[in-house]
A and B are shown apart, each in its own frame.
Chain A
Amino acid sequence: MGEPLAIPTSETGPAPELGSSVTDPVLARAIAGDRHALGVLLSQHQSRLYNTVLRMVSNRDDAAEVTQDVMLKIVQHIGGFRQDAKLTTWMTRIAMNQAISHLRKRRTRDTVSLESSGRPSVAADDQAASLRAALTDHREPTAEHRVETRDEAECLQAAIDRLDDDFRAVLVLRDVQQLDYAEIAEALELKIGTVKSRLFRARLAVREQLHGKQTPSSESSPADPASEQ
């Protein structure tokens, strides 16, 4: 760990194609312990990782923090990277685990804060769920601000935020990272059928959020964590 990581420069090149394998000489050197190569590798993937995490946690500061943690884990475990997986998939798995862990911690904190505020816990799950959703990130702009700006990206992000973590992860990997079903399944260690199911339900939920229409489906709402089988 004595050698510093390579700070991204212009010559580090663009992010590699998805599915970098050990045939990549940079990756091979990084696995062998070349800190410079590892720095180059991280600089190539940092934007993708950051955006993935950002869509998950929907907060820039949190995204930066989680991305740093992701990179740290990549550095710590790159030597044990199994060469039977794609590097991007492996990195994505780490990123999603970190992001979901962060979301759960944050949600627990907000829930406790909500319960400790003296509000009656019996007062309708819908109301609590609404408050929880509103409090998902107390640092993000308020609802009034969102209504005022009405930015499409913000609305989309807000719709994503209301999804359960499992559904959100699939949707983010599909639309932000634009992974195929197999990659998503590998990253999240799910079956492809589960991925497809979650993706469709996530899209329906987003539609509900954005268009206010109830999908005539018997399936439970993806926004309800209890709906996950």
Chain B
Amino acid sequence: MIDRHDPNLLLDYLEGELPEEAAAEVAAAVRADPELRLLMEELGADRAALRAMPEAEPPSDLLEGVQAQLEREMLLGPPPEPIPLARGHRNTQPPAANQPSHLRDRLVFLGGLAALLALAAGITLYSLSQTSLLNFAGQNTPPTTPAPVQPPRTATPAVPSATDPPSTFAVAPNPASPEVAALPAAPTRLRNQPSDPSTAAWFIGNTSASMPSSMPGDLGDSPPLSNSRADTFVDGVAIALESAPLEERVPTVSEATAVPGHAMQAVQVAAVPPDRLRALADEVRVVRATGAQFRQGERSLARPAQQQIILAAQDAELAEEELIRWAAQNRVAVLGIDQKSRPARVDLESRALADTEPLTLPETAASEASKESAAGSATSSLRAPTTPMPMPVGKSGALRRQHLARDESASDDSPAPASAPALAAPPRRLLLQVNTDQIPQLIDQLAAVEPSPEQTRQRRALATSALRPHFAFDALPQRFPQPPSPPPGSIDALVFQNAGDWVEVVITPNP
């Protein structure tokens, strides 16, 4: 008698694994039990159907895929996932491998994406940094404007390292600036070489070449200039002549880090016309190029008339001395020297002009200023000068507006003299806003006057007291080399270019 509930027996019967005798017994029992017979019939039918399932044809490229995968693994290494050949189908993989595959895939994807983004950001930052370095080093010239042929120089334009010995000049023109490009070849003479030529570097950023003829009154209205650039190499001297919106080229602290181990001097000077700058390029000894990174900077610096000299030197004093000497010899007004990191700057917006008193211009300048004011100049809100005073302005009427800012030591009620010889003793501070195109002319006139030692002392005191809140350069005047014979003049003046269109003149009566 068989057990109709014995699954092994029934299975063996179904699978044909029973011996004939046992199979016959089961068959008899199944025939006798309709329910069991139905079960076995259905199970048998299903088994037959499963065994009769058509065999699928494997893909034709199955082995090719295996071969390709083997080649990939041979090239790229084995897959990181361990091969589960362990016992049966038990999951012997580590818990990490048991995580949902899509979650792992997401993590891997996100991780890879983050790595790619970080890499891209790093490359971008690095390339930007390098671009800035290269641009300042003179390795980036605009491709659109062909460079005019220059007289042959004796050295190949290059950016030497700090250890490179100085060589001869190799001056390249500024192809981006037609004014500069049209200049005659600069002389190849060298002057004012620093005592240690391997430690100083000069950079001159010139925006005056493409500077607009008129200045907007609002500080934030600096017109965007063409982002052209021309670099000049002068025997290890990299002088970058740039024409670009200064908003994008305000030197910042990052400049100090551009030359590791070097002190950085950043100096703003008054605008210098391209020909002057070109001449300066021949006279400035730069032995190492460095880069400067610019960013959106101070509004007071974002003026198109300013020029920036970035000086990098291992010896800060030497660099400063060289800079001052260069500025003096080239009659470039130095706004200030920041020995720390930031260039000297003046925040015009915060500068108090309330204590200014009316100033009378010479007839020509006053009339022109009045015309401009009447024409709706952006600076028309400033008070018109009333007190006559000799002004070192050019015949072209560069003066657009003027103010007499009262110095602390000046007398409020002391009228300004009508002429230079009649200037009274109290020095006054004159704030001028001039057309930036005319700044060099103004500089020429003002820089021609060299103060006496006493005047220098007074001027330094004035500058210190007046400008210390903005930048300290009280040591600057005494570093100016004394010219052999100061020309006679009616005023003792030092020009401070504050922010492109502001010129501060310290006027001391000259007895």
Nearest to B88 among chain A residues (CB) is A189
Closest Cβ–Cβ distance, residue B10 to chain A (whole Å)? 7
Type the 1/0 row for A31-43, where 1 means its CB is closer than 8 Å to any CB of B. 0000000010011
Closest Cβ–Cβ distance, residue B192 to chain A (whole Å)? 69
Question: Is B43 close to A, CB under 8 A?
Answer: yes
Which residues of chain B (17-63) have a CB below 8 Å from chain A?
17, 35, 39, 42-43, 46-47, 49-51, 53-59, 62-63
A76-B83, A105-B101, A152-B49 known; A199 vs B11 contact (CB < 8 Å): yes
In the complex, are the beta carbons of B63 and A60 less than 8 A apart?
no
Mostly, the A contact residues are helix
Type the 1/0 row for A162-197, where 1 means its CB is closer than 8 Å to any CB of B. 000110010100111010010000001110010011
Q: How far is the CA of A108 from the CA of B51 in the complex (A)?
A: 30
Q: How far is the CA of A97 from the CA of B58 in the complex (A)?
A: 19
Nearest to A5 among chain B residues (CB) is B67
In the complex, are the beta carbons of B84 and A153 less than 8 A apart?
no
In the complex, are the beta carbons of A47 and B57 less than 8 A apart?
yes
Among the listed A7, A43, A153, A181, which residue makes an inter-chain contact with B54, where contact means beta carbons less than 8 Å apart? A153
In the complex, are the beta carbons of B46 and A206 less than 8 A apart?
yes
Question: Is B96 close to A, CB under 8 A?
Answer: no
Contact-residue bracket for chain B: 35 or more
**Centre residue among B65, B67, B102 by max chain A CB count within 10 A:** B67
In the complex, are the beta carbons of A72 and B66 less than 8 A apart?
yes
Among the listed A46, A156, A189, A207, which residue makes an inter-chain contact with B63, where contact means beta carbons less than 8 Å apart? A46
Interface residues of A, count at CB 8 A: 70
Q: How far is the CA of A213 from the CA of B42 in the complex (A)?
A: 10
Nearest to A42 among chain B residues (CB) is B63
Type the 1/0 row for A62-84, where 1 means its CB is closer than 8 Å to any CB of B. 01100110011101110000000
Question: Is A27 close to B, CB under 8 A?
Answer: no
A97-B84, A176-B53 known; A67 vs B58 contact (CB < 8 Å): yes
In the complex, are the beta carbons of A47 and B55 less than 8 A apart?
yes
In the complex, are the beta carbons of A42 and B66 less than 8 A apart?
yes
Question: Is A203 close to B, CB under 8 A?
Answer: yes
Question: Is A211 close to B, CB under 8 A?
Answer: yes
In the complex, are the beta carbons of A108 and B100 less than 8 A apart?
yes
In the complex, are the beta carbons of A1 and B51 less than 8 A apart?
no
Which residues of chain B (431-473) have a CB below 8 Å from chain A?
none
Q: Which residues of A contact B89 (CB under 8 A)?
A: 96-97, 100-101, 165-166, 169, 188
In the complex, are the beta carbons of A104 and B11 less than 8 A apart?
no
Question: Is A30 close to B, CB under 8 A?
Answer: no
Among the listed B56, B78, B103, which residue makes an inter-chain contact with A51, where contact means beta carbons less than 8 Å apart? B56
Q: How far is the CA of A55 from the CA of B55 in the complex (A)?
A: 10
Question: Is A112 close to B, CB under 8 A?
Answer: yes
Q: Which residues of A contact B74 (CB under 8 A)?
A: 1-2
Question: Is B69 close to A, CB under 8 A?
Answer: yes
In the complex, are the beta carbons of A207 and B43 less than 8 A apart?
yes
Q: How far is the CA of A93 from the CA of B83 in the complex (A)?
A: 13
Question: Is B64 close to A, CB under 8 A?
Answer: yes
Question: Is B227 close to A, CB under 8 A?
Answer: no
In the complex, are the beta carbons of A43 and B63 less than 8 A apart?
yes
Q: Which residues of B contact A176 (CB under 8 A)?
A: 50-51, 53
In the complex, are the beta carbons of A46 and B67 less than 8 A apart?
no
Question: Is A87 close to B, CB under 8 A?
Answer: no
In the complex, are the beta carbons of A200 and B102 less than 8 A apart?
no
Q: How far is the CA of A51 from the CA of B43 in the complex (A)?
A: 22
Closest Cβ–Cβ distance, residue B50 to chain A (whole Å)? 4
Nearest to A103 among chain B residues (CB) is B89
B residues adjacent to A (C-beta < 8 A): 7-8, 10-12, 14-15, 17, 35, 39, 42-43, 46-47, 49-51, 53-59, 62-67, 69-71, 73-74, 78, 83-89, 91, 100-103
What are 30 sample pairs from A and B whose C-beta atoms fall under 8 A apart? Answer: A42-B63, A46-B63, A47-B58, A60-B59, A64-B59, A64-B65, A67-B58, A68-B66, A77-B83, A93-B88, A94-B85, A97-B85, A97-B89, A100-B89, A101-B84, A105-B100, A108-B100, A109-B100, A112-B100, A156-B50, A171-B50, A175-B51, A181-B17, A188-B89, A189-B88, A190-B88, A203-B46, A203-B47, A207-B42, A210-B46
Given contacts A1-B73, A67-B58, A156-B49, 19 further A-B contacts (CB under 8 A): A2-B74, A7-B63, A42-B66, A47-B57, A50-B56, A60-B59, A71-B62, A71-B66, A101-B91, A108-B101, A112-B100, A112-B103, A178-B51, A188-B88, A196-B7, A197-B7, A199-B11, A200-B11, A207-B43
